[in-house]
Amino acid sequence: MNRRIACLAILLGTAVLNTAAQAAEVNVYSARNESLIKPLLDRFTEQSGISVNLLTGKANALIERLRAEGRNSPADLLITTDAGRLVLASDLGLFQAVESDVLEDRIPAAFRAPDNSWFGLSRRARVMVYHPDRVAQSELGDYESLADAAWAGRICVRSSGNIYNQSLMASLIEHHGIDTATSWAQAVRGNMARDPQGNDRAQIKAVAAGECDVALVNTYYLGIMLSDEEQREAGAAVRVHFPNQDNRGTHVNISGAGVTAHAPNRDEAQALIEFLAGDEAQSWYASTNHEYPVRDGISPSDLVASFGTFDGDTLNVSVLGKRNAEAVRAFDAAGWE
């Protein structure tokens, strides 16, 4: 009788383990649009057998949701854009450190948190786009040069509430100090052709339409436009200039991910980040999202490569988040809405 009970217990235990294996899952909160992440998540499931439950939303709303849910959150992984948001989530205690030789090997130190609480997964450069009929590339210089009087009434850029502009400002504060960066923002505000408005694609369209001569945008927005029949004409009207190539390099930002502090499926979440840092996913980011891979040795798409090569700022992108509050204050002081 005891032997029969023991055998039954073993069988039941094996069944439970098999069911658990079949039910392996990871819950993802993503600030990236579903179309820009789901194909990769589906591929991860195909390869690993781990199902992915995806919830998308605005970055700040997802961060607030994680904070409010606390220990009861079902989320295992937060994927978001901009180092500033990743640092914010980390400072709120929403991430946990991940020790992974795979991630440390694949992701350069400048693109991950010093404490390994989050990891960059793709890069984007914030560049100048200009209309070649109205601007000679030789006229263009560093970000700092946009403060020159020669650009009065010629610049388009989105609002200071945009996290991409805040991160650029954070980098300027890191390099020059708060007073110099604030003076730069005030001068650029005075050189604008119109009040700050619209997204990055709106700035490209404004340059194409002659509303302004130069704009600050992230490279992948131009890639999206050039790949869209309805927006291609406007995208093709502009050219790309990579600032600061004679000194610190062009400002670079990331999208990235972190394992949540109370992740119920921690190992699966780590496995997903490692997959997203792999060759296949990195190449997909490049070809589909028109971003630069965060990995060394993975080439950008032909379209993005056509913009030219550049040296990027070597700052650890965590600085962009640490300086965010100062950047917001500098914009306010400069009158940049």
Q: What is the DSSP string of 175-206?
A: HH-HHHHHHHHHHHHHTBSS-S-S-HHHHHHH
How many angstroms separate the CA atoms of 196 and 19, rounded? 55
Distance CA 309, CA 142 (A): 16
So what's the pLDDT on residue 19? 39
Query: In the numeric block, which tokens belong to residue 236?
Result: 């093709």
Strand partners, 56: 30
Q: Which domains does the chain have, with CATH numbers?
A: 2-123+253-300 (3.40.190.10), 124-251+309-334 (3.40.190.10)
CB 247 within 8 A of CB 161: no
Positions of the chain with pLDDT lower than 50, given as ranges: 1-2, 4-22
For position 2, what pLDDT does the model report? 46
Backbone angles phi, psi at 231, to 5 degrees: -110, -5
Q: Which residues contact 83 (CB under 8 A, 6 or more apart)?
A: 120, 167, 253, 254, 256, 317, 318, 320, 321
Closest CA to 290 of 276, 305, 278: 305
